[in-house]
Structure 1
Amino acid sequence: MSGIPAFDRIPGESADVCLIVEGCYPHVAGGVSTWIDWLIRSIPETRFGAVSLVTPGEGRTARYKFGPNLVRFQEIVMGDAPPAAARWRARRYPAPERLATLLVEFVRRGELATLAAILRLVNDERQPIPLAVLDRGDHAFAVCREAYRQIMPHGSFKDFFWAWQALMGGLFAVLKAPLPAARTYHTISTGYAGLFAARAAIEGAERVLITEHGIYTNERRIEILMADWMVDTVDQGLAIAGRRTDLRDLWIMAFESYARCCYAACDGITTLFGENQPMQRALGAAEARLVVIPNGIELDRFGTIPPAPPEAPPTAALVGRVVPIKDIKTYIEAAAHVRRAVPDAQVLVAGPEDEDPAYAAECRELVQRLGLGDTVKFLGRVDVRQLLASTHVVVLTSLSEAQPLTVLEAGAAGRPCVTTDVGACREMIEGSPDEDPESERGGYVTNILAADEIGEAVARLLTDAGLRERLGANLRRRVHRDYASQQSADRYRRLYDGTLVPKAA
């Protein structure tokens, strides 16, 4: 296995802020990774460290150039424990039933005190339990068997075993990995990154923070409900009450508990827009710790992009990863409507396809099946500024988003957008409640999975230059007024120094 080499430019010293990220920066290009890169560059006086949680895999390379104030970096590979050495297998560890009971309690309730008890047990100074023993072998199997008895005794043990391995593999990886020295730990999601931050709080961190773009638990819930490999394996019988736990229940319950624990550990809980906060409150986030910090954009980079040249064909573009949560298939179906109204239209997909190659292949097959080969083009990763220079309308069909940078970039360049009604998109396109959404809109907001509605809105903008220019100008004004990079960076400075959200008592 090869990954991105670790480095430490300040050995023996604490970083100012340790960023904790899962599944993105620096090896995956996308909105969250771009935001992290922006954050590090925008506060150059702060010494950042970064911990990247990754799954086993070959050939990870950095997609972003590390700045001079990123002084420390390490990866934690989850679910990749080596086989237990014979000397470890021969030792006697605490009874599996004890660890299983703590883990089950944690998966059900997500209490910080329970995670602390698990941490003490697996990292006991007198006899720590090696990761290899926790992850595989007789002890791990006994823990899994007891957890199955307590959680899902009526379901398939085989399915439970693999789900438990995945859920606990990540948990144990973040409990056993080295904790880099920092004054503040800042996680960019709940999930396993959030558990690593919670561990830092347990071990005495001065300050622990979270910034959520999308709500991790909500995005995982969507993926779990969409997963066709996850079948119901529990016979619910004729009971009306007391529904038995099934595999989907286990996954959702675990991720919600991980979120509860993370929120309990954090001194500041930030998100990009207010509509995320009810979901945070529902999982225990304390009101006094909640704050909104919108994304910021470097206006000079995008505000100077000229209009598309007159000779450019009518062009719509979606900038994003080719993955199910972005719902590229609905975008392709919308392209069929666009082509009927605008025969010479170009409908572009600009984003990497390597995260979910099977889904990307399905998208390409759908293009061929609908006869859209001359209309829909997959560009891969591109320079967004160059793309916008020849684009008339930017489209986003996601099932879940936070405050997508692609909309801000398009707006700064004066390009109107068509987006689904997810995250902060309506607020970005139509403005705050005191603005008139009709006269001041910067595009159109549609339902999710609504290919005809999306296609109609795109076609309307491609065929009416006056409307397109007016809506693009509206969005440009809103982005310049509300989403400037410096405003956002200054709020993060205040978050780090404790003046924005005082440390929890």
Structure 2
Amino acid sequence: MYSIARSGKKKPRTLSPAAAIEPATAAKPVYEDVDVAIVMESTYPFLKGGVSAVVHDIVTHNPDLSYGIIHITWDSDAPLTDLYGMPSNVRWVRTVFLSMDEHRQDFQGVASRDLGMTAPEREALSHRFFDALYALSEHGDVEGLWELIDEGMNERTRQYPLWALLGSREFMQTLQDRMPQLNLSLANSFWTLRNFFSLAYAVLGETMPRASVYHAHTTGYASLLGAAAARDHNTSFLLTEHNLYVRDTVNTLLDRNMALSITAEDYRTFDVTAEQRAWMAWWTEMGRFCYPSARLITYLYPSAITEAARLGADMDKSVVVPNGMVIAEFDEKFRARQDALAKMEAEGPDYVWHLVYIARVVPIKGLLDLLSSMEILRDRGYPNLHLDVLGPTEHVPEYYEACLAKIDALGLNDHVTIHGTVHVRDMLDQFDLLVLPSYNEGQPIVILEAMAAGIPTVGSDVGGVAQQISDNLTTADGRVIGPCGETVTPGNVQQMADGIQAVIGNLANYASYAANARTRVQELFQMHEVMSSYNQIYRALGDLPVIGEAAPVRGEELAPVDL
């Protein structure tokens, strides 16, 4: 009810040799075994975005491996058009729907009698269920729940439909006895647990195609599916956290600042409603349940590892594999930006600085804040500023309208141009400074693109942004590369104005930031090094043949450089 994932059935999509997604047929399709099955929620290949771009890079830059895509989304009304054009090494795309409406007959068409148990046996099973939940929440012990999944959820091994237990008198009585802390009425307890059971059934109730490695790109439902499929086929589960799913989902639920951290204990102590507490526990404990199954967990930036550890992740099997760029693709833009430096020097105070915001026009990206910072800079005597806004405007129409109203109210119509959706890379050479006032980010691809073009950035200190632009970074041979921009507190419009002024107010500083931006990508974020790391990981975890003389993978070697 609070996330895209609430409950559902799976309808397969397959790929023809031409990589077109074909509609499902009545006959159950046969899926080819693959080296890697990539598992995601509402992203690739049906929606564009940062995670989708990274996954497409992984698939296209590792043509020696075969892939399947498991796409988890809400229901059959969600976008299901391939936006990328699947390469030939993607053998199939399978869609998993979470809405109860998509599997109503399978999920709701059972009753407690279908368990085939006596009343005492149903009572004993109910206690086993709650024993397993407490073993996870109190001790991090996952085995009891996995046993129940094998017995009552896994299509290949189930002996009874575990979800039918929910409709029994014995289960509801045991619920009242064992979980009084839910503080929900019996009716609300039933409907809340019904949601949870339906979600579990949607993710766990049907056998997935076999892969040597299941690579989930988030915790939550993708991680649950990947962990279960790897266990079912006795293969490996790899988890990549682009952002921290539990933190972001809980903050969204509670309407909190997205930059605030979350720990595994917060659902016990926060002052929230009983229903909110139940959903917080669901997402938090789902993460704690899946983390132990991962043979390796990769993060985009170092501080994410320590934050994830507070949610239950194992730091000993966590490594950094950042995003990467093909820097040669930006050579022309970089040369244009070098030419712009000479123009800045020649025109001096008459030069018009072109700032660019590249993101969706939605609250979490902070454009309203940036407009206030533009007003501050104008009032400080910086009239020669122009902000170009690149990105979709239709996702939250009321927010877009608020931005237009604020531009008009502040008299910024001559200083702000909103372009909507454009091909960003074609325009990068037109801009002097990227500004990113977000409240939540992982390791933004747009910053790496700007860096590759030699464009400094002023961005909110969220996620891995500081690692990208303001932290000193050390190369493999010990050289230190300085910052390529400034970081500011999210939502602090005064700091954002100060940061912009610090970059554009001194041409020597600006030139240094611009040079460092390009160098940081050259030395630390090269696509071929990142993709080599993924290739080594897949081959090591999947026991796949090693190509050439690649060194064995050890945790400390997985990041291309020491970040």
Smaller-chain TM-score bracket: 0.7 to 0.9
Q: Does 1:332 align with 2:371?
A: yes
The answer to whether the Cα contact below 8 Å between 1:316 and 1:348 also exists between their aligned partners in 2 is yes
Tell me which residue corresponds to 1:7: 14
Q: 1:289 aligns with which of 317, 323, 331?
A: 317
209, 220, 224: which one pairs with 1:195? Answer: 224
Does residue 483 of structure 2 align to residue 441 of structure 1?
Answer: yes
Show structure 1 runs of 5+ residues with no match.
229-240
In 2, Cα distance between the equivalents of 1:315 and 1:4?
Answer: 48
Helix, strand or coil: the match of 1:13?
coil
Match of 2:245 among 206, 213, 216: 216
Give 2:462's match in structure 1, choosing from 422, 425, 442.
422
Deviations 1:44-80 (A, max 9, x none): 1111111111123344433322212111101111123
CA spacing shift, 1:192–1:59, aligned 2, 3 Å: closer
| Partners of 2:72 and 2:330 in 1: CA distance | 31
| AA matched with 1:6 | R
Residue deviations 1:232-291, cap 9 Å, x none? xxxxxxxxx998973333232222211112210011111112111112323333343221
Please give the secondary structure, in 1, of the residue aligned with 2:47.
Answer: coil
Equivalent position of 1:67 in the other structure: 87
Query: What residue number does 1:478 align with?
Result: 520
Alignment of 1:104-503 (within 5 A): 104-105=133-134, 108=137, 111-119=141-149, 120-123=151-154, 128-129=160-161, 139=167, 150=179, 152-155=181-184, 164=193, 166-226=195-255, 246-305=274-333, 306-307=336-337, 313-340=352-379, 341-432=381-472, 440-462=482-504, 464-498=506-540, 499-501=552-554
Q: Using a 3 Å threshold, how does the CA distance of structure 1 residues 272 and 192 change in structure 2: closer, same or farther?
A: same
Change (3 A) 1:168 1:480: farther
For residues 130 and 74 of structure 1, the distance between their equivalents in structure 2, rounded to whole angstroms, comes to 25
**Is this contact kept in 2: 1:19–1:48, CA < 8 A?**
yes
**Does the aligned pair in 1 maintain the 2:353–2:384 contact within 8 Å?**
yes
Cα gap change, 1:121 to 1:351, in 2 (>3 Å): same
Give the conservation status (yes or no) of the 8 Å contact 1:185–1:197. Answer: yes
Partners of 2:429 and 2:199 lie apart in 1 by: 43
Q: Deviations over 1:147-200 (max 9, x none)?
A: 577265434677766655554443321112441211110011111111111212
Deviation at 1:449, TM superposition (A): 1.1
Matched to 2:355, the amino acid is A
TM-score normalized by the length of structure 1: 0.83
CA 459–63 in structure 1, closer or farther in 2 if over 3 Å, else same: farther
Whole-angstrom distance in 2 between the partners of 1:461 and 1:183: 48
Look up the SS of the partner of 1:93 in the other structure: helix
Question: Could you tell me whether the CA contact under 8 Å between 1:323 and 1:359 is conserved in 2?
Answer: yes
| 1:37 correspondence with 2:56 | yes
Equivalent residue number for residue 96 of structure 2:
76
Q: Give the 3 Å change call, closer, same or farther, for CA 456–69 of structure 1 in structure 2.
A: same
Return the offset for 1:38. 0.9
Of 119-128 and 28-37, more deviation after overlay is shown by 119-128
Helix, strand or coil at the partner of 2:290? helix
Report if the CA contact (8 A) 1:276-1:423 is conserved. yes
Amino acid at match of 1:224: L
Q: Distance in 2 between matches of 1:140 and 1:343?
A: 71
**Matched residues, number:** 485
Tell me the residue number matched to 1:236: none
Change (3 A) 1:501 1:262: farther
The residue number in structure 2 matching 1:238 is: none
Q: For residues 210-245 of structure 1, give each alpha carbon's deviation from its aligned partner in whole angstroms, at most 9, with x where no partner exists.
A: 1111121222232233269xxxxxxxxxxxx99897
1:65-103 Cα shifts (integer Å, max 9, x gaps): 221211110111112334337993467234497286368
CA contact (8 A) 1:339 1:375 kept: no
Write out per-residue CA displacement over residues 440-489 of structure 1, whole angstroms, 9 at most, x where no aligned residue. Answer: 32111111111121123224444554433331111111111111001111
Q: Percent identity?
A: 24
Residue type at the aligned position of 1:93: D
Shift of 1:360: 4.3
Amino acid corresponding to residue 376 of structure 2 in structure 1: H
Paired residues of 1:330 and 1:397 also in contact (CA < 8 A): yes
Q: State the TM-score, normalized to the length of structure 2.
A: 0.75
Residue 36 of structure 2, aligned match among 7, 11, 17? 17
After superposition, the C-alpha distances for 1:349-407 in whole angstroms (9 at most, x for unaligned) are 32234554454454445444544444344433321212312111111122232221111
Question: Are residues 398 and 160 of structure 1, via their aligned partners in 2, closer, same or farther at CA, if it must alter by over 3 Å?
Answer: farther
